[in-house]
A and B are shown apart, each in its own frame.
Chain A
Amino acid sequence: MTEPILSATDLDLFYGDFQALHGISLDFDEHKISALIGPSGCGKSTFLRCLNRMNDMIDGVKIDGKVTFHDQDIYSSQVNLVELRKSIGMVFQQPNPFPFSVYDNITYGLRIAGIRDKQKLDAIVERSLKQAAVWDEVKDNLYDNALSFSGGQQQRICIARVLAVSPSVILMDEPTSALDPISSAKIENTLLELKKDYTIIIVTHNLQQASRISDKTAFFMEGRVVEYDDTTKMFVNPDDKQTEDYVSGRFG
């Protein structure tokens, strides 16, 4: 049993008086894909955003409990948010490239970190776009506005943009829900490639997607984790009745 790279312990989250998360404890293993599933509003996206402190921006959010990354408490007041978010990247539901060229999008994270060396930037752009499996489609148009590409291409550009800053964990909030099945399949293949080098935590509404790509699956209901286990077990022989009902499509 290896040490988990990222782990949450007894995490509670309140939006004002409303408690959205109740005592979440989850461990995520390195170089694995972990899927978070559950009905809308069950808190899975909220939980995901706790893992790189993106909830900090929202007014009235209060968080109790602990999240550790390589055994470091990320909610400690000494944590450098900039460094944390470089290590734990995030891909959003809606493809959200900046309205700049593909090249400027990919190099954004590097430039704000002070990297100016053109050769180095070029190399990282090529590497990241190749890793995100979009290099062949954009290599001749690197200086075109990223918004001129299709939704699926935009999402893979966004993935490449995260990869460029070399995070060790990538959080994905329903990355394919705004895309057509073919683009989704391309992204799923990309993720399976990426897990060799990265730890991926993905929120998804698509149960087939979770069963296809993830190693472990957590089932969320009403702000609680109902069950967390190997994906094969979760989909074939879950312990909990609610999980069974959900994965077999009886509700949700």
Chain B
Amino acid sequence: MQNQKLAKQLMKKSKTARYERFGHLLSLSALLLIMAIVLGIIIFIATKGLSTFFRDNISFKDFFTGVIWNPGTKTPSGQQAVGALPMIVGSFLVTILAAIVSTPFAIGTAVYMTEISPKRGAKILQPVTELLVGIPSVVYGFIGLSVVVPFVRNTFGGSGFGILSGTFVLFVMILPTIVSMTVDSLKAVPKYYRQASLALGATKWQTIWKVVLRAATPGILTAIVFGMARAFGEALAVQMVIGNAALMPHNLVSPASTLTSVLTAGMGNTVMGSLQNDALWSLALVLLIMSLLFNLMVHFIGRRGAFKK
């Protein structure tokens, strides 16, 4: 009698168990939905982007090494004019230059915020960097167009539109990303490293330079890669200052273009299924693959993090 009662009690489906199941299903379905969307996007872009090569019979070589971009027309030598090299070069140039210019400023700012004056850092610099993140890219582009472009024109000559202006605008845009992530990685350096260094007779500066920054290097590299990913994918602000000429850049002040700027400029003007349209999708595919590569880099650097035991 007692046992039967207990068995019944144990087998009864409780309300909390139902909630448990429901919650489980809810989060699982959310996950599945997101995965389906991401996979769908990748498959869509891949089929579209690859049809340039497999349906329109453009060779990979012509696409990645050709320097004339005018899909639908032919180059003087008789090939289809779908050379994407100028845009690929443009994208990489602005990205790498912006990262090179930003990194020293970002590390300097981050060191000030964490090591030299944490109080002032938290009070003034933190809100400022957060504000920089929040400014819409069209505003950055507008400022770039009305301030940076004339400045470059007057200082370096040319039209002012080009890689250099793009670099300047991207420099400000990726700075907060790199700063805030570098701050996080400096804060993650245990306090006892600093104490050990000071106790060995190091000055504060030696401690920052030789211990803190060195221990935080994987985190700082991750920050730079994230900044580069942002620069690589930025479309609007760059498009407004780079000049949008799909030509190989001769110098830093000649009008050029990036993958994103050609995409934004061209996507409204082509017919679905035409070569012009497919070629744009191929550019999008290149962008997608690049951002996947950036993500892989971040994972790779993160896994080699120095002070994870």
Contact = CB atoms under 8 A, between A and B. Distances in A.
A and B held together in a complex:
yes
Interface string B119-149: 0000000000000000000000000000000
A54 B195 contact: yes
A96 B200 contact: no
Q: Which 4 A-B pairs have the closest CB atoms?
A: A86-B201, A109-B200, A90-B199, A96-B192
A112 interface: yes
B307 interface: yes
B203 interface: yes
A97 B200 CA distance: 12
A66 interface: no
A161 B200 contact: yes
A92 B196 contact: yes
A108 interface: yes
Interface in B201-217: 201-203, 206, 210-211, 214-215
Contacts of A52: 199
11 contacts: A85-B198, A85-B201, A94-B192, A98-B197, A99-B193, A108-B200, A108-B210, A109-B200, A147-B309, A161-B196, A165-B201
Interface in A99-117: 99-100, 108-109, 111-113
B41 interface: no
Given A99-B307, A147-B309, A113 B193 contact: no
B200 A165 contact: yes
Contacts of A165: 200-201
B201 A83 contact: yes
B214 A100 contact: yes
B42 to A, nearest CB: 37
B309 A112 contact: no
B192 A92 contact: yes
Interface residues of B, number: 20
B198 A96 contact: no
Interface in B276-309: 306-307, 309
A95 to B, nearest CB: 9
A96 B195 contact: yes
B309 A92 contact: no
B303 to A, nearest CB: 14
B23 interface: no
Interface residues of A, number: 28
A175 interface: no
Contacts of B200: 85-86, 89, 108-109, 112, 161-162, 165
Interface in B23-53: none
B200 to A, nearest CB: 4
A89 B203 contact: no
A113 B215 contact: no
B114 to A, nearest CB: 15
A96 B196 contact: yes
Given A85-B198, A108-B200, A109-B202, 19 more contacts: A52-B199, A54-B195, A54-B198, A57-B198, A82-B201, A86-B201, A90-B199, A92-B192, A92-B196, A92-B199, A96-B190, A98-B193, A99-B193, A108-B197, A112-B203, A112-B206, A112-B210, A162-B200, A165-B201
Interface in B195-246: 195-203, 206, 210-211, 214-215
Contacts of B215: 98-99
A98 B211 contact: yes
Contacts of A35: none
Contacts of A92: 192, 195-196, 199
B198 A89 contact: no
Given A96-B193, A98-B193, A99-B307, A112 B202 contact: yes
A158 interface: yes
Contacts of A97: 196
A165 B197 CA distance: 12
Nearest to B210: A112
Given A94-B192, A99-B306, A147-B307, A85 B211 contact: no
A54 B196 CA distance: 10
Nearest to A84: B201
A100 B192 CA distance: 14
